[in-house]
Amino acid sequence: MNSDLATRRLHAAAAEAAQCTRCPLYRDATQVVFGEGPVGAPLMFVGEQPGDKEDRDGRPFVGPAGRILDAALAEIGLDRGAAYVTNAVKHFKYEPRGKLRLHKQPNRGEVQACRWWLDRELALVQPKLVVALGVTAARALLDRAVVLSRLRGQSLELTGGQHLIVTVHPSAILRMRDEDERHDAFRGFVDDIRFAAKLAKAA
Ligand code: SF4
């Protein structure tokens, strides 16, 4: 498929996802947050689900976790606009707490229902390498229970033939209270992204 056609199909998939009722998460979210980036992007980043800011803006990784991802990409000189960025689940799942909306982890059924859209993105973008950001994304992509620490640092393969590497979700770094620990976790995250970029280049 040529890239113009794939781009048109990707836009059509995003418009279709805006009407999705495959799981209950569409009911309370503001809007769907589909992936962003060019068809043929060598790297595809897959997070868990949109956060509060992403839900309001309708774009992936534009909140605090997105800033960590941007900082890591900047460290290795990788332009975010050249990558495809998305989430395993496209609607924000949360628990209202007063005026706040607290992140709630999507369950297995929701992740499986939303795999429909992730598969469309994978088929149309055709990345060389996929980076799973956190355990929910890794579980969605591998379709099995995973222990993140056991998979980290390995080059895995998806059923579609793409390479996969697994790393932490940037929000896990943000949640660390100890500054040294947070600094080390960020360095490890940058190393994982550098490894991914190297593998994508060689693929
Ligand atoms: S989370 Fe995914 S499967 Fe569920 S309604 Fe939203 S787009 Fe559809």
Domain assignments of the chain as residue spans, ordered by start: 3-202
pLDDT at 159: 87
- In CATH, 3-202 is 3.40.470.10: yes
Atom number, ligand 1, closest to the C-alpha of residue 113: 3
**Interatomic CA distance for residues 68 and 187, integer angstroms:** 11
Torsion of CA 37, 43, 47, 51, to 10 degrees: -30
What is the CA(82)–ligand 1 centre distance, in A?
26
Which pLDDT score is estimated for 1? 82
Model pTM above 0.85: yes
Using most ligand atoms within 8 A of CB, pick from 25, 27, 92 the residue to mutate for ligand 1: 25
What stretches in the chain show pLDDT beneath 50? none
- CA angle, 2 as apex, 129 and 32 as ends, to 5°? 60
pLDDT value at position 58?
97
Who contacts 192 (Cβ-Cβ below 8 Å, separation ≥6)? 131, 152, 153, 165, 167, 168
Task: Answer whether 126's CB lies under 8 Å from 84's CB.
Answer: no
- CB-defined site of ligand 1, < 6 Å: 17, 20-23, 25-26, 32, 89-91, 110, 113-114, 117
Residue identifier of the C-alpha nearest atom 4 of ligand 1 = 23
Answer for the pair 193, 79: CB distance below 8 angstroms, yes or no.
no
What is the Å distance from ligand 1's center to 17 Cα?
Answer: 7
Which residue's alpha carbon is nearest to atom 2 within ligand 1? 114
Residue 75: CB atoms within 10 Å? 15
The whole-number pLDDT of residue 13 equals 98
Return the ligand 1 atom nearest residue 116 CA. Answer: 3
Tokens of 65: 């976790």
The number of the ligand 1 atom at minimal distance from the alpha carbon of 21 is 5
Q: Which pLDDT value is given to residue 5?
A: 96
3-state secondary structure of 149: helix
